Amino acid sequence: MARLFRIIDKTPAVYIPVLLMTAILLCGFVPGCRQAPGSITLDDIFNHGELTVITRNNVHSYYIYRDQAMGFEYDLAHAFADSLGVRLNLITADQWENMIPSLSQGKGAIIAASMTITPARQKQVTFSDPYMEVRQYIICHRNNLSINDAKDLAGKTVHVRRGTSYQDRLEAIKAQGIDVNIQLHDDIPTQELIRQVAQRDIEVTIADSNIALLNRRYFPNIILAGPISEKQYLGWAVNHNSHQLLERINTFFKKIKTNGKYTEIYNRYYADLDFFDHFDLRTYHRRIKTRLPLYEPIIRKAAKKHGLDWRLIAAQIYQESHFNPGAESHAGAFGLMQLTHTTADSLNVDNIMNPQENIDAGVRHLKNLYDYYDESKDPERLYLALAAYNIGQGHILDARNLARNMNLDPNRWASIAKTLPLLRFKKYYKNAKHGYCLGTEAVEYVRQIMIYYDILKHQGIAYPAGYPWVRGL
């Protein structure tokens, strides 16, 4: 570059503007040349030992639960920071529209906020390879039978957040001749608009499929009336000149999708989204208001005593008895946590139908099982304990042995969820120590509890401004 400027010194004036422009263009490709204002390079990240990620406080990106940072985007970003060997620094945008300007100003290196890749945004930032496929859906109350697809939005008022891909899509629909009234809101979360639809405060909103399906659990009165977009994709955003950082992000996504880490994180937040029983979930939401409060103090006390989350125990109790203290099963299980007399006797229970004794014994039993599977990591350790509570340790032992024979990891729930259902076939159970097992029931048991648990956890999510390591933009 210095040589180029020496050449300029000896060049006729008419050619100097051309050479200067060449020098400016080359600067972007020469190592050591100063980067564009606001750009954070991969070298900057390594030099500071810190990856700064811009995101949002919501149920899909980042939130606090029981004083722990959580969220799909948070977990992905944390895994990426770990892969670089640097610490993660999270900053949260006060408004959705602030994220891209903040990236341009150098306040962060990456935007990780479930952002849809759109042509308009690609003019401002560069996106990573896509990591999730979504479609935009019309969200309305389940009793609203007048809306099924985009053309039914004519004459309707659709509420969306300003600056989103939802607004872009609705404007495109309007340009096609469908007279939809677009009501824009400044920085209101999509989840809040979905809640307003469920409460019939507004008639219609739009949401990406991952957001819509998850919120259907929390608000079972809403339906996904129909898609209004083709497939779209989510990606992380970086500044246009962050070439090396972009390359590392894309390599990271390829790696975690190959080694199973992405699936592990995805399932932590979005598992079983397609499973939905409207009647069951409506009943559950009603009973956590009417029946759960009767036993919540006992559940909290027992869970705290044994180091478990009381919401998990409440979810398990609902699966076992629907909060009915007088429940009796055909298999000889009793009370809120459906204890057998054998289990109750082993835990010195005097009155199996007494709610306090029943809950305390059930929680002790679950904790004993949890302690037993200490070779597994959470949340899989918890899944194994729950399955054993439902179907017995003997059948779990058989399923683990079968997993070993099939070259599967016996400490992973994914393995046991495959082998347990096989134990209902003679080909497999004839060599099992504990014989025939209706393993599909145990897998369903765990899945259902985790859905109920997720709904209760959602009520405890916090989005604190000024949390110690979170800086607002």
Task: Check: CB of residue 74 under 8 Å from CB of residue 166.
Answer: no
CB 7: neighbour CB atoms within 10 A?
13
Structure tokens at 343: 């289990």
Whole-number Å distance between alpha carbons of 430 and 433: 8
Find the helix packing angle between 278-290 and 292-305, rounded to 10°.
Answer: 80
Length of the chain in terms of residues written: 473
H helix intervals, 28-126:
42-48, 72-84, 99-104, 119-122
> Of the candidates 222, 284, 274, which has an alpha carbon nearest to the alpha carbon of residue 453?
284
Q: Which of 73, 320, 357, 380 is catalytic?
A: 320
Could you give the count of Cα atoms lying within 13 Å of 199 in the half-sphere of its Cβ?
7
Tokens 């609705």 appear where? Answer: 170
Q: Is 192 a catalytic residue?
A: no
Q: Which residues contact 409 (CB under 8 A, 6 or more apart)?
A: 403, 415
CB 359: neighbour CB atoms within 10 A?
24
Q: b/e string for 123-138 if b means 16 or more Cβ within 10 A?
A: eebbbbbbbbebbbbb
Active-site residues, by number, are: 320
